[in-house]
A and B are shown apart, each in its own frame.
Chain A
Amino acid sequence: MNGENKCMNQTNPYLPEAARIVRTYPLTEDVKFFQVRLVDMEKAISFKYSPGQFAMISVLGAGEAPFSISSTPSRPGLLEFCIRKAGTVTNAIFKLKENDHIGIRGPYGNGFPIESMHGKDIIIVMGGLGAAPLRSVLLYCLDNRDIFGRVALLHGAKRPAEMILREEFFALKERNDLECYLTVDADDTGKWKENIGVVTTLFPLLKDINPSKTFAFVCGPPVMYKFVLKELIKLNIPKNQILMTLERRMKCGVGKCGHCAIDYIYTCIDGPVFTYWDVIHMRELI
């Protein structure tokens, strides 16, 4: 996967493809869900990606920025993104309505090596908008439920209203083929029936982990990593089986503009997925 050009446009990787917003609705006060489809039907169907890869989205006149793909390649045709309003490009994206056009380039990045995890146990730890890239892994596991072992999801948000995709995650609690634990740092509604506390307070609920066959996925705000990684190490999960996806400034997505450089690697082509060992080994990653 790494070092392979799977980008849609093989002659000019900088040229976007036109895509249509087919569905959009707010997830929280500042995060919106976007379901988009490439206008060209054939390209829409043949757009191949892995969980953990990202795409560059552009809005005419506002610019371009990288976004992790929240949908799963096991459901081809539509691409989904959870986007937080944070800068010029996202402000412009937020103004768009259904049937409006955006530009898309990609997919870029190494993605999670999910194909090599068949038969393994999966723990997904997400905080806040960290759910955006990890939802792709989660849905991929659920769509291929029989090829994975145990699947556990730990999801934390600051407050109930800030938990993105909460209806989707609540629905998962009904299933008996996966463990779904939800938490909020603080409940300001008085109606929250799940755990209250930071995401690490969910770890005691994970019983009888088989560390050597477990892969852990982590994504969340920078402060979360230190504490979650400590818990995972306590569970004896090998450092190279702890995977995380990182955010950096990117202008090209194809390893040229330099903005995402860390040490001597480029997040956009050598990442954004790294193992905990990479993080220890390379400095500056988190």
Chain B
Amino acid sequence: MKIVKLKKENLFSFLEAISEEAELWAPVQKYENKHSFQLIKDFSQIDLKYTRTILPPKKLFLPPTFNMFLATEQGYEEDFSHATKKILFGVHPCDIHGLLILDRFFQHVFDDPYYSKARQNTLILGLSCWPDENCMCKSTNTHIIEEGYDLFFSELENDYLVWIGSSQGDDCIRIKPGFFDEDITDEDIQIYIKWQNERDKAFQVDINFVAMPDLMELKYENPIWEKLGDACLACGSCSNVCPTCNCYNVLDKPLLNKDTSEIGRCWDACTLESYSEVAGGENFREKRAQRLKLWYTHKLQAYISKYGKPACVGCGRCASTCPVDINVQTVAKALEGKDMDTFWNRLSKEVTK
């Protein structure tokens, strides 16, 4: 892989130069300590030190709601207006891994043109980061990224190491060749290694994901699921913020002119009650415990059995979002049979409130 060096002070000028013909999206602070990928008009908005955004990058490829096509008596008109040309800057390794999982999913058997078109039209510029108490990417082995980006910026002291991951990434570098230094010194390498070691030591969470498929299987009928189900609010927030959750509903929205409908999509979540309902009112997963089990079967068992790694990229969003603290960490701990008394006590208090 080709690696070059960029002076920190040139970063925004570089981004400005390459985003002349595309929308630039990057993390900005929205509320106190809450960040979001937003369309950038003013470079000073960009927050390079963010930990995680509220919503993962999936919102740019399959927005919470969008139209797929217009249906009329005469035929169908496809609508790809969500798939504008974009440059997405500041994506952390976990979120790039999330996109790689979505790539595999949306291109399996049937290619989803709405996802693929948006993906093709977006350059991914990654950025190195530092873990907080909810980051689990070392456990999921997604703290390191080798593919899925066009450029990746690893922060050194005064520079960025820029890893060029694609032909388009290389084209970007060529727009401002003067900014980039191909001479990476031994000192740079030492700084990088030191940073990496310290970063790896900064993780506060350690989960043995390899053990999860067997634990899920062995504890399928365990009462912990009922307890979690009793506490779960079935709000769907965990699915909204998860970088690999991709379930959706299809909407037929008739326009005032009766012969035309907008056929659209909106995010859905398997934790919601209506999710597994079929015609006639029969519901295959009426209980919250059943729905939670499906969510965690997908994340912690199915994907590991199939591809050797979890469908969790360790971003920690479920941990920082769930109002009752049901998340990959607490569920994994419960499955491992670790001491959870305080957790259960708090949950039962929440339930009786």
What is A's interface to B at a CB cutoff of 8 Å? Answer: 3-5, 7, 11-16, 18, 58, 60-65, 84, 86-87, 89-90, 101, 103, 222, 247-249, 251-252, 254-259, 261, 263-264, 269, 283-284
Residues from chain B with Cβ under 8 Å of A58 in the complex: 71, 252
CA distance A101 to B72 in the complex (A): 11
Tell whether B249 is near chain A: CB-to-CB under 8 Å: yes
Known contacts being A249-B277, A264-B306, is A284 close to B284, with CB within 8 Å? yes
Name the contact of B297 in the complex, choosing from A3, A61, A86, A264 (C-beta under 8 A): A264
Give the contacting residue for B279; candidates A16, A87, A103; CB below 8 A: A87
- B9 within 8 A of partner (CB): no
List, in ascending order, chain B residues with CB within 8 A of A63's CB: 250-252
Q: Which of A15, A222, A259 contacts B69 (CB 8 A)?
A: A15
A249 with B276, Cβ < 8 A, contacts A60-B73, A255-B108 known: yes
B248 touches A (CB below 8 Å):
yes
Q: Can you list 17 contacts pairing A with B, beta carbon distance less than 8 Å?
A: A3-B109, A5-B109, A12-B78, A12-B113, A13-B112, A16-B71, A60-B71, A60-B73, A60-B252, A60-B254, A61-B254, A62-B252, A64-B250, A248-B284, A249-B277, A256-B112, A259-B276
Chain B residue nearest to A254 in the complex (CB):
B110
A14 / chain B contacts, CB cutoff of 8 Å: 68-69, 113-114, 263
User: B247 contacts which of A86, A258, A264 (Cβ < 8 Å)?
Assistant: A258
Size category, B interface: 35 or more
Bound-state Cα–Cα, A222 to B282, Å: 10
**Assembly CA distance A57 to B298 (angstroms):** 29
The answer to whether the Cβ of B12 comes within 8 Å of any Cβ in the partner chain is: no
**B110:A256 contact, CB within 8 angstroms:** yes
Return the contact of B248 from the options A7, A13, A64, A251 (Cβ within 8 A): A251
Could you mark each residue 41-81 of chain B with 1 if its beta carbon is under 8 Å from any beta carbon of chain A, else 0?
00000000000000000000000000011011101101000
> Is B218 part of the contact surface with A, judged by Cβ < 8 Å?
no
Shortest B277–chain A CB gap in Å is 6
Distance A140 CA – B113 CA, assembled complex (angstroms) = 35
